[in-house]
Amino acid sequence: MSSKLISVKNITKDYHSGDVVTHVLKGVSFDIDDGEFVSIMGSSGSGKSTLMYVLGFLDKYTSGKYYFEGQDTSEFDDDKLAENRNEKIGFIFQSYNLLQRTTVLDNVILPTSYMVNCDVKKAEKKARKLLKRVGLGHRIDHKPNQLSGGEQQRVAIVRALINDPRIILADEPTGNLDSKSGEEIMEILQNLNKEGKTIIMVTHEQYTAECARRILHIKDGKIFNDEIVNNRRLATNGDYKK
Amino acid sequence: MNIFRIIKFAFENIAVNKGRSFLTMLGIIIGVGSVITIMSVGAGAQSFVFDQIESFGSNLVGVLPGASDEEGPPASVFGVIITTLTYDDAKELRKIPHMVAITPYANGNANVSYLNKTINVSFSGVSSEFIEVEDASVEKGRFIHSDENESVAKNVVLGNVVAQKLFSDDDPIGKKIKVNQESFTVIGVMKKRGSSFLTNQDEQILMPVKTAQKILLGINHVSVIRGKVDQKENIPLVINEIKKILQKRHNIKDEKKNDFSVRSMDQALDIIGNVTDALNLFLGAIAAISLIVGGIGIMNIMLVSVTERTREIGLRKAVGAKSGSILSQFLLESVIMTFVGGFIGIIFGIIFSSLIALIVNYFGYHWELLITPFSVLLSVSVAVIIGVVFGFYPAYKASRLNPIEALRYE
């Protein structure tokens, strides 16, 4: 088990709203190894986003076991969870969630502010390098509202990478983008995976999900299919190639 | 977490909402400014009053008719006229060792005329030792001689301004003037003493005490007796002596039934100091209320800010901010606002205090500009404490936000 990056055993998640209890996750179990690219697929309300937030330490599960890097996460307190989010995980959101009044560069180095020790100069240098890699070298001092959606999402990806996390968690990363920009994002994610990053992506679109190597189909809070993608789609420069 | 980066975030956010931050700070600016101004004006007024009292001369003791609590005001304040204190009392008190000069005062108002000019002035019947008691001096002519009291001489010494008004450039010495239709001879003119807040001595005339009593007032008592003691250390001793002598002369057995009260200048200064201190504190407290109102303004705006930035807080948490980091960031924002506001308030307070000092000095009074480090320290620390206290609740609210709900907040 210790070789697994993520090991989830019979996780449940209930939401209480007044007297009404909603069972969002009803016993989910799976393992994810280092270097995998997994899509979590399902329709809205299926619990896929909740599952991702639980995996990313943003939300707490109700029962079951979640081992992260072999450690039982039920023993983590709030600060420990925050440290894990900071060091081990990079989030990419559907709506980018960039700070609108802050420059691209400062947005990217935001996670480094919450590290215990951080060299700002080094972080900025790294940020510039990464921004150039995703083709935003000329946008470093712009504000997010001067950028297109695709560019904003690329900034968000660089922000997710700045602390060298083991896992990238992407919640519908192409959901707000046109197909060409979406392709660019998928291409970046696939390249990152090729370099060894573990990527877990939530999506409801089959053709986006198929960019991953494995798809977990989730429905009504349960995984009903764990599928290996044999015929993986490779996104290259705006065109899907089978 | 990197505290400098968090300070930077706080500053950036204040800078982004410049107008709003300034309006929020305005409450603190006004609060701190008014605390400093009021405390400075209070300290200035206090030293002004002290200066005035001390200009009467030092090492003075006063005997007032009527019993009074030594901490409270004399009986005459309430309009009661007590007639037990006399010129003979003063003469007897003069014999106390360490008493170097003494004068009774019989006060009144009179119309004074010379040729076709008539003015209304206050007069005091005093003894020849008035000059030493009050540290006054004669400019022209001479002062009252001691034998002129017994002879009820109709001689007057004019205050400087009175002499100016009646005689202009003429020499008043030896001239006859009318005081309430009685004819008096001018024997001297006092040196200008400047205005004093209790009475303007330059607009006063002085005459032998018996003359004032018998001819102008028709009374036997005096309003007050003032004596000068050789050394400050001897004042308590002299006060004791005065009490003993007067009790004997007035046939008083029980000290509680004294028909007079004895005060020293030190006591008077103490009383006035206490009163003005209390007044300053009271005014300062009122000004401090505006600081609290300013603090509520800060809390209000920080609550708005937390709501507005819910998604930002969610994001910060998602990328690894601990609750403590969020708490510090928002707390720092309110503390920085109160601190900067406090700093600007100090500048405004100093400007206002200086303006007041300038204006008062322009009107010819000596007014010292007193801004104590205490008042500066107090108002700024109160402002910062207010920033912490009123900033805590919004900051705590921000730090407790659930990251998922915050990220989904529209």
Give the model confidence (pLDDT) of A84-100 as tens digits: 999 999 999 999 999 98
Which of A79, A97, A101 is the closest to B407 by Cβ?
A97
- Considering the domain architecture, whether residues B224 and B323 belong to the same structural domain is answered as no
Of the candidates B342, B329, B339, B340, the one whose C-alpha atom is nearest the C-alpha of residue B302 is B329
Q: Exposed/middle/buried for B292, CB within 10 Å: 0-12, 13-18, 19+?
A: middle
Statement to judge: residues B304 and B241 lie in one domain:
no
Q: What is the mean pLDDT of residues B85-100?
A: 89
Residue B208 and residue B116 in one domain: yes
Q: What is the mean pLDDT of residues A61-71?
A: 94
The phi and psi torsions of A6 (rounded to 5 degrees) equal: -130, 130
- Domain for residue B171, yes or no? yes
B1 in contact with A, Cβ within 8 Å: yes
Q: Does residue B77 form part of some domain?
A: no
The reported pLDDT for the residue numbered B155 is 92
pLDDT at residue B44 above 70? yes
- Look at residues B210, B211, B213, B191 and name the one whose alpha carbon lies nearest to residue B202: B191
pLDDT value of residue A174: 92
CB contact under 8 A, A102 and B12: yes
Say yes or no to pLDDT of B70 above 70.
no
Q: Give Dmax over CA atoms of chain B in angstroms.
A: 103
Per mean pLDDT, which range of A137-146, B97-106, B112-121, B358-367 is the poorest?
B358-367
Work out the average pLDDT over B190-198. 70
Same-domain check for residues B293 and B342: yes
Least Cα separation, residue B14 to chain A (angstroms): 12
Q: What is the mean pLDDT of residues A35-62?
A: 92
In angstroms, rounded to a whole number, what is the distance separating the alpha carbons of residues B74 and B76? 6
B313 min Cα distance to partner chain A (Å): 10
Q: Both B140 and B186 in a single domain? A: yes
* CA pair distance B185, B172, nearest whole angstrom: 9
Alpha-carbon gap, residue A111 to A41, rounded angstroms: 28
- Give, as one character, the DSSP assignment of residue B306: H
Q: Is A83 in the B-facing interface, judged by CB distances under 8 Å? A: yes
Q: Is the pLDDT of residue A194 over 80?
A: yes
Q: Which two tokens stand for residue B200?
A: 């303007």
With 80 as the cut, is the pLDDT of residue B77 above it? no
B122 and B144 co-located in one domain = yes
Residue B58 lies in a domain: no
CB B11 within 8 A of CB A102: no
pLDDT band for position A240 (50/70/90)?
A: very low
pLDDT at B355 over 60: yes
- Region A133-161: mean pLDDT is 93
Do the chains contact at B317 and A85, CB–CB below 8 Å? yes
Name the closest residue on chain A to residue B309, using Cα atoms: A99
- Whose CA is closest to B266, among B225, B242, B233, B240? B233
Q: Above pLDDT 90, what percent of chain A? A: 78
Any CB–CB contact under 8 A between B286 and chain A? Answer: no
Give me A159's structure tokens. Answer: 């922000």
- Please check whether residue B59 lies inside any domain of the structure: no
**Distance between CA atoms of A178 and A180, rounded to whole angstroms?**
6
- Measured between alpha carbons, how far is residue B331 from residues B29, B324, B334, B337, B338 in Å? 19, 10, 5, 10, 11
Confidence of residue B198 (pLDDT cuts 50, 70, 90): low
In this structure, is residue B318 part of a structural domain?
A: yes
Most confidently modeled range among A213-227, B12-26, B194-208: A213-227
pLDDT at B409: 84
Does one domain contain both B274 and B241? Answer: no
Number of domains present in the structure of chain B? 2
What are residue B221's phi and psi, to 5 degrees?
-95, 170
pLDDT of residue A169: 96
Q: Are B254 and B274 found together in one domain?
A: no
| pLDDT band of A241, cuts 50, 70, 90 | very low
Q: Which of residues 195-254 of B touch A (CB under 8 A)?
A: none
Secondary structure element (H or E) that encloses residue B348, with its range: helix B323-362
Please state, rounded to an integer, the average pLDDT across all residues of chain B.
87
Please indicate whether, in this complex, the C-beta atoms of A110 and B16 are within 8 angstroms of each other. Answer: no
In a domain, B303, yes or no: yes
Q: Is A82 on the interface with B (CB under 8 A)?
A: yes
Q: What is the tens place of the pLDDT at every residue in B219-269?
A: 888 989 999 988 888 888 898 889 889 888 888 888 777 888 888 877 777
CB atoms within 10 A of CB B98: 16
The amino acid occupying position B110 is A
Instruction: Map residue B18 onto helix, strand or coil.
Output: helix
In this structure, the answer to whether residues B158 and B246 fall within a common structural domain is yes
Higher per-residue confidence, B84 vs A162: A162
Residue among B2, B315, B323 whose CB faces A97 most closely = B315
pLDDT at B83 exceeding the cut of 90: no
Pairwise CA distance, residues B93 & B67, whole Å: 18
Q: Interface pTM (ipTM) of the complex?
A: 0.92
Instruction: Report which secondary-structure segment, H or E, holds B10.
Output: helix B3-16
Q: CA-to-CA distance for B346 and B354, rounded, in angstroms?
A: 12
Answer yes or no: is pLDDT of B316 > 80: yes
Domains along chain A with CATH numbers: 34-61+77-241 (3.40.50.300)
- Residue whose token pair is 């100016």: B164
Let me know whether B298 and B323 are in one domain.
yes
The tens digit of pLDDT for each residue in B172-184 reads 899 999 998 889 9
- pLDDT value for A220: 92
> Residue A95: which of A156, A44, A146 has the closest Cα?
A156
Mean pLDDT rounded to a whole number for chain A? 90
Share of residues in chain B with pLDDT > 90 (%): 34
Whole-angstrom Cα distance, residue B106 to residue B12? 73
Residue B113 has pLDDT above 50, yes or no: yes
**Per-residue model confidence (pLDDT) at position A2:** 44
Please report which helix (H) or strand (E) contains residue B52, including its range.
Answer: helix B18-54
pLDDT at residue B185 tops 60: yes
Q: Which domain holds residue B389?
A: 3-53+270-408
Which of A99, A100, A113, A169 to mutate to probe the B interface, most B CBs <10 Å?
A: A113
| Min Cα–Cα distance to chain B from A227, Å | 28
For residue B74, pLDDT over 80 is answered with: no
Q: Looking at residue A242, what is its pLDDT?
A: 42
Instruction: Tell me what the mean pLDDT of segment B388-402 comes to.
Output: 93
Asked if residue B226 lies in contact with residue B103, where contact means CB atoms within 8 angstroms, the answer is: yes
Residue B57 vs residue B315, higher pLDDT: B315
B3 and chain A in contact, CB less than 8 A: no
**Average pLDDT of span B301-323:** 93
| A131: nearest Cα among A150, A108, A114, A149 | A108
Residue B376 one-letter amino acid: V
- B324 close contact with A: CB closer than 8 A: yes
B47, pLDDT greater than 90: no
pLDDT-derived band at A108 (thresholds 50, 70, 90) equals: very high
Q: Mapping DSSP to helix (H, G, I), strand (E, B) and coil, where does residue B251 land?
A: coil
B69 contacts: CB under 8 Å, gap ≥ 6: none
